[in-house]
Amino acid sequence: MQVLLLTDESDESELGKSLKEGLLDLIGRSKVEARHFGIRSGDIRNCLGCFSCWIKTNGKCIIGDVGKQISDCYTENEFAIVLSPVKFGCYSTVIKHVLDRITPNNLPFLIRYRNRTRHKARYDQYPQLVVVGYGGDTSEAEAQTFAALAKANAVNFQKESAKVYLCRGKDEIINITGQVLKLMGMEEVTV
Instruction: Give the residue extent of every domain in the chain.
Output: 2-183
Q: How many helices (H) and strands (E) does the chain have?
A: 6, 7
Model pTM score: 0.93
Distance from C-alpha of 44 to C-alpha of 110, rounded to nearest angstrom: 26
Q: Answer whether CATH 3.40.50.360 is correct for domain 2-183.
A: yes
pLDDT of residue 29: 87
Helices (H), 1-139: 14-30, 52-55, 66-73, 93-102
Distance from C-alpha of 56 to C-alpha of 44, rounded to nearest angstrom: 21
DSSP 8-state code for residue 190: -
Give the pLDDT confidence of 125-179 residue by residue, as tens digits.
999 999 999 999 999 999 999 999 999 999 999 998 999 999 999 999 999 998 9
Distance from C-alpha of 27 to C-alpha of 121, rounded to nearest angstrom: 29
Cβ 117 vs Cβ 154: under 8 Å: no
Average pLDDT over residues 56-83: 95
pLDDT at 106 over 90: yes
DSSP 8-state code for residue 25: H
Distance from C-alpha of 126 to C-alpha of 110, rounded to nearest angstrom: 17
pLDDT of residue 190: 53
Using left for φ > 0, alpha for ψ between -120 and 50, and beta otherwise, residue 115 falls in left
Distance from C-alpha of 131 to C-alpha of 90, rounded to nearest angstrom: 11
Collect all residues with Cβ–Cβ distance below 8 Å to 91 and sequence separation of at least 6: 82, 84, 99, 133, 146, 149
Distance from C-alpha of 141 to C-alpha of 138, rounded to nearest angstrom: 8
